[in-house]
Copies of this chain bind each other. A is one copy, B any other.
Amino acid sequence: MNGDEGGPRRRVLLQDVADKARVSGSTASRALVDDKRISLATRLAVKAVAAELNYVPNLAARSLRVRRTLTLGLLLPDLRDPVHGQVASAFEHEARQRGYGVMIVAGEDEPARERLALKILMEHGTDGIAIVASVLAPKEVRERVDPNRLVLVTPDHRSVLRSDRPLAPGVIQTDDASGVRAAVNYLVDSGYRRIAFVEGGTRSSNTVRAEAVATTLSSRGIRAPLRTFRALGDAWRAPADLAAEIAADLPEALICYDDKLALALMDALRGLSIRVPDDVGIIGFDGIPFAAISNPRLTTVAAPSAEIGRTAAVSLIKAIQTGARPEAMLLQPELIIRESTRALARSAGKIVIKP
C-alpha cells in the first residue's frame, strides 16, 4: 500500500524545487518569474521541476515580503440580491483574469457588521477594497481604508439639481437622475399623468429618486405634488398591505424603487384583481434578469450592474499598480420598455424618449 495516503501531505516548498533542480532558492525564485539574469536552460529546468512537483507558492510568505497579497476585497450588502450578485460576478471575473483573488464579505445593511467585514478585509491585507452601497458614512469609510486603494460604488446621494457636479475620486455610480428622467418622460409621452412613486427597502437614496421624479414631472408641466407610497421593512413581506393602500386610490402608473419591489407589487396587485398594465402601469429599476420574463414583463430602468463590477475591479487594480487614486465613473442606465406599461389612449401617439 501507498504510505502517503490520508496523511496531511507536506506542502512543496520553493526550496524543494530548488533542491531537485540543483540550484539555490534564490535562483529558483528568479527562474520562476523569468528573470533574465538566469540562463534560459536553468529557467526551463526549474519550471519543469516546479510543474512536476506541483509546486504552489505560498502567497502568505510572498505577501509578507513584497507587501502585496494579490487579493481584492469586496464589501456588499447581500450576496442574494440579484443586482449585487451581478456586480460581484463581474468584479470577481475581472479580478480573476488578472490574477487576483477576491474576498467577499457582506455588510447586511448594518453598520456594526459592515465594520467587522471591513476589519476582516483589512486584516487579510487586501490590496484594494471595493465597497458597494455602504450604510457607513463615506467619511468614516475613508478614514478606515486608504482612499488610494478604495472604490466606492454608491447609489446616487446627490439631487438631480446638482447632478452636474463632478464625482469624488474612486466613486462609481450610475446616472440615476438620467434614468429617472428617461422613465418619467416615457410615461408622460405615453399618456400617463397620475404617476406615483413607491419607495422600497431601507436605502435613503429613495428620496433622491423620488425627488428626481418630482422634478421631471414638474418640468413636463405636471404640477400636482408627487404621491409617494412607502414599503415599510422588507419588500418581500409588506407588498400585500402596500398594494391595498395603493388600490384604494389607484394612480395611472407606479414608479417603483427597484425591480424587486415592482415584481412583488405586481404579485400583490394581482391578488386584488388589479391588472397590469391595463389598470395601472408599473416601472422598476435595475433590470434584473427576471424582469425580462415576468408576467407581464417589466418595464425598467436597467442599471449597468455588470459594467459597474467590471469597472470597479479594473479601476481598483489600475490604482494599485500605478499608485494613483482610482478614477471616478458615472455609468449610464438604460430604459427598457416592456409590457408592464403601454401607450394610453390619451397619448399623443408618438413616443419620444428624451434622456
A123–B8 CB distance below 8 A: no
Interface residues of A in 145-159 (CB under 8 A from B): 146, 148
B105–A120 CB distance below 8 A: no
Interface residues of A in 134-171 (CB under 8 A from B): 146, 148
- Min CB distance A218 to B, Å, is 33
Residues of B within 8 A of A85 (CB): 79-82, 85
Q: Which residue of B has the minimal Cβ distance to A66? A: B60
Residues of B within 8 A of A88 (CB): 79, 104
Q: With an 8 A cutoff between CB atoms, is A266 at the interface? A: yes
Interface residues of A in 94-120 (CB under 8 A from B): 96, 99, 101-106, 108, 113, 116-117, 119-120
- Min CB distance A10 to B, Å, is 11
Residues of B within 8 A of A120 (CB): 96, 99, 101
B122–A106 CB distance below 8 A: no
A172-180, A293-301, A347-355 - interface stretch: A293-301
Residues of B within 8 A of A290 (CB): 263, 290, 294
B105–A71 CB distance below 8 A: no
Q: Which residue of B has the minimal Cβ distance to A265? A: B293
The CA of A89 and the CA of B78, in the complex, are separated in Å by 7
Cβ 8 A contact of A59, one of B80, B124, B146: B124
A103–B101 CB distance below 8 A: yes
Residues of B within 8 A of A102 (CB): 103-105
- Min CB distance A232 to B, Å, is 18
Interface size class of A (residues with CB under 8 A): 35 or more
Q: With an 8 A cutoff between CB atoms, is A270 at the interface? A: yes
A71–B124 CB distance below 8 A: yes
- Min CB distance A101 to B, Å, is 5
Residues of B within 8 A of A61 (CB): 60, 64
The CA of A88 and the CA of B106, in the complex, are separated in Å by 10
The CA of A64 and the CA of B66, in the complex, are separated in Å by 14
- Min CB distance A8 to B, Å, is 7
B96–A89 CB distance below 8 A: no
Interface residues of A in 287-329 (CB under 8 A from B): 289-290, 293-295, 297
Q: With an 8 A cutoff between CB atoms, is A69 at the interface? A: yes
| Contact A56/B293 with A79-B85, A103-B101 known, Cβ cut-off 8 Å | no
Residues of B within 8 A of A93 (CB): 106, 108
Q: With an 8 A cutoff between CB atoms, is A25 at the interface? A: no
Q: Which residue of B has the minimal Cβ distance to A236? A: B289
Question: A56-B123, A93-B108 given. 12 additional CB < 8 A pairs?
Answer: A60-B125, A79-B85, A80-B86, A89-B106, A96-B105, A96-B117, A102-B104, A236-B289, A267-B294, A267-B295, A267-B297, A294-B295
Listed in ascending order, the chain A residues whose CB lies under 8 Å from chain B are 8-9, 56-61, 63-64, 69-71, 78-82, 85-86, 88-89, 92-93, 96, 99, 101-106, 108, 113, 116-117, 119-125, 146, 148, 236, 263-264, 266-267, 270, 289-290, 293-295, 297
Closest 6 CB pairs of A and B: A267-B293, A295-B295, A79-B89, A60-B63, A85-B85, A60-B64
